[in-house]
Structure 1
Amino acid sequence: MNKLSEIKIRIYAVEIMSHVKKSMTYKELSNELKMSAPVISRYIKGHVLPSLDRAQKIIEWFEVSYFRKMLQDEIQVKENGVIDVSFLTYDTVLQRVIAKQALNYFRNVEVTKVLTVETNGIPIALQIGNEFIVDVIIARKERQIGFEKYIEATYTLTPPTIKSLYIPKNALKKSDKVLVVDDLIRTGNTIKALVSLVNKSGATVSGIFTVIDVNQAMERLKKELNINVPMYSIVSK
């Protein structure tokens, strides 16, 4: 991990405490984090940053005990089984927190590009790209005017319909290490198509990230792809 990434994680831990402090007293937060209220106050007021080890413990508490429950409460499942994740497209604070989660989880992974598909996951992918300070490539569902050469990958929707994804041929270099990002994973077909685009470009998949994992789809994807890279979803539904 480089120095910049370490500092970002330590600052993020302070942002977490400042956010949670809006709904908790110092005493309550002290009990949750198992550290003294005066120390927490010094962090929140910007007098000092927590160590990397302490910052990671704060982030872990936030993920397990606070953030995941908050995110679960936001997710709505409609009568037809469709999962409504539209809130991910406009809640910029939530997008930023999710991006920080990705940065923290993949902190030891080399990432030079982020790849996503043109869905609700675009704002999150852009925030993640900003955290890693890398470009974001958006796979399109149709060829775009102005680009003559494309890399194409197909995938299957439910009910069975064959669709294609496209990226410009020069969007990825062979030296790129690509973090694949999507808002949710249900069948894994979209992510498999994104992985195929990376492979066809000659680049390397360095990780796979989704916000929501439906019916343990990520576990099935790990077996189907058979690639040794970190894969992470924040919540399961």
Structure 2
Amino acid sequence: MNQTIASSIRTIPGHPKPGINFRDITTLLENPKAFRMTIDQFVQRYMDQNITAVAGIESRGFVFGSVLAYELSVPFLSIRKAGKLPAETISQSYQLEYGEDVMEIHKDCVKPGDRVLIIDDLIATGGTVSAAIKLVRQLGGVVVESCFVIDLPDLGGSKKVQEEMDCPCYSICEFEGD
């Protein structure tokens, strides 16, 4: 199953710069069988874990997270870049390769004790998901796990999130290299 999912992900060498292999999930989304297998795998993993909300990280985490929330019959929460959410938010900065960025979440979407699953398409260095974990925890939520379609283990993000954020990580497939 994971091989079918992994083989449906296109690799684009040299994007966005030389030496990087971009993992393009649009080809997975264009493949109904692979997309269904991806969602089904997540559903099977989380259906008995008492998840009360799924939080997706902008923007590709929205694609997987909204469908997963629907399948689990729980709310979908949006974690977005600063200035994109219309109501009152809290924010968390995080490091990029060359600078800093900020993620936000609506202040009223996580209730104390909520069991939240955080989802994105890919984990690389772990900065974005670490910010998302901090946001959910700041509102009193319990992050059950962070999950991804793709892990790039050579970049160390999943290890960082597990060790530094004390948050388990799960991914369907791994790709070596950047």
TM > 0.5: yes
Give 2:118's aligned amino acid.
V
Whole-angstrom distance in 2 between the partners of 1:99 and 1:132: 11
Whole-angstrom distance in 1 between the partners of 2:85 and 2:163: 37
Please, which runs of 5 or more residues in structure 2 have no aligned partner? none
Residue 126 in structure 1 maps to residue 66 in structure 2: yes
Q: Is the 8 A contact 1:176 1:204 kept in 2?
A: yes
Which of the residues 90, 94, 100 maps onto 1:151? Answer: 90
Match of 2:170 in 1: 232
Q: CA deviation at 1:198?
A: 0.4
Residue 78 in structure 1 maps to residue 9 in structure 2: no
Q: Residue 170 and residue 85 in structure 1: after superposition, are their counterparts in 2 closer, same or farther (change >3 A)? A: same
Match of 1:96 in 2: 36
Q: How many residues align?
A: 167
After superposing on structure 2, the runs of 4+ consecutive aligned residues of structure 1 that deviate more than 4 Å are: 88-93
Q: Whose radius of gyration is greater, 1 or 2?
A: 1
Larger relative contact order (Cα-Cα within 8 Å, sequence gap ≥ 6): 2
Which of the residues 147, 158, 168 maps onto 1:218? Answer: 158
| Partner-residue secondary structure (3-state), 2:149 | strand
As a proportion of its length, which structure holds more helix?
1
Q: Is the 8 A contact 1:96 1:127 kept in 2?
A: no
Q: Is the 8 A contact 1:152 1:197 kept in 2?
A: yes
Q: Is the 8 A contact 1:88 1:120 kept in 2?
A: no
Give 2:6's aligned amino acid.
Q
Residue 203 in structure 1 maps to residue 138 in structure 2: no
Please, which runs of 5 or more residues in structure 1 have no aligned partner? 1-66
Which of the residues 46, 53, 70 maps onto 1:113? Answer: 53
Whole-angstrom distance in 1 between the partners of 2:81 and 2:95: 13
Provide the identity percentage.
25
As a proportion of its length, which structure holds more strand?
2
TM-score of the two chains, using structure 1 as the length reference:
0.65
Q: CA deviation at 1:118?
A: 1.4
Stretch moving more, 85-94 or 96-105: 85-94
Q: Tell me the C-alpha RMSD between the 2 structures.
A: 1.9
Q: CA deviation at 1:162?
A: 0.8
